[in-house]
Amino acid sequence: MALPNSPKICFRASDSEAAQAASRVLKARYAHVPLAEADVVVALGGDGLMLDTLHQRTGLPVYGMNCGTIGFLMNDYAEDGLPERVAAAEEAVINPLAMRAGTADGDVHEALAINDVSVLRAGPQAAKLRISVNGKERMAELVCDGAIVCTPAGSTAYNYSAHGPILPIGADVLALTAVAAFRPRRWRGAILPKNATVRFDVLEPEKRPVMADADGRSVRPVLWVEIRSEPTISHRILFENGHGLAERLMREQFV
């Protein structure tokens, strides 16, 4: 859905000094409206603020400006011509991951992740995981520090640092990447269809406790974790014209 030429903006800033200062300047220069009246949210901060804003599920597109450190999902900070830049921005629509995690007390915890879901050792010993995809066992035992399932939007984050692949935006796939795999030592992961359901069963959970993390929302210790894409939920991110998410993901592979 195209934005009006002069979109009504709701500004949202992180707690950092730089973001708060930018918020004061921009609110004084451009009209700030309550969320219920806005056409777009302008998020001032880093990727953490962007993820938090998207998790609010307002249905509005979010245009981020980097007042943090990495800011892969953010645009460069600039004060001039903000309404015009927002109106002309490219929109990327992404679906989050849905995580279900079971604990020893019988509880099942649910969370959404825009970037990735990680299953990580929560003690001094490596985790032992059994991996199933769509109900079929694919790996009887993975000994590792953990494993990551990520979306294309999240493939340049923790997944990339664990030597996982960068996925093109719009590709109907997910990446499954091992973190410091010990056995099988050379196994780095798999590319899975977007509609796949990945399940991790924790082996020896008392001796080798494991936690699950969905965009910073942690559950510990877990006995099993199921992860799938959630097609009924869409998040809208705006990028400067010519610097969209597809271009960013392509550029990241050549640095």
How far the first Cα of the chain sits from its last, in Å, is 33
Name the catalytic one among 15, 39, 47, 116: 47
Phi-psi category of residue 71: left, alpha or beta, with phi > 0 → left and psi -120 to 50 → alpha: left
42 touches 12 (CB < 8 A): yes
| Cα distance between residue 47 and residue 249, in whole Å | 15
119 touches 201 (CB < 8 A): no
| Cα distance between residue 208 and residue 254, in whole Å | 38
137 touches 231 (CB < 8 A): no
With 0-12 CB in 10 A as exposed, 13-18 as middle and 19+ as buried, what is 242?
Answer: exposed
- Is residue 107 among the annotated active site residues? no
Rounded to 5 degrees, what angle do the CA atoms 58, 102, 219 make? 60
Q: Which residues are catalytic?
A: 47
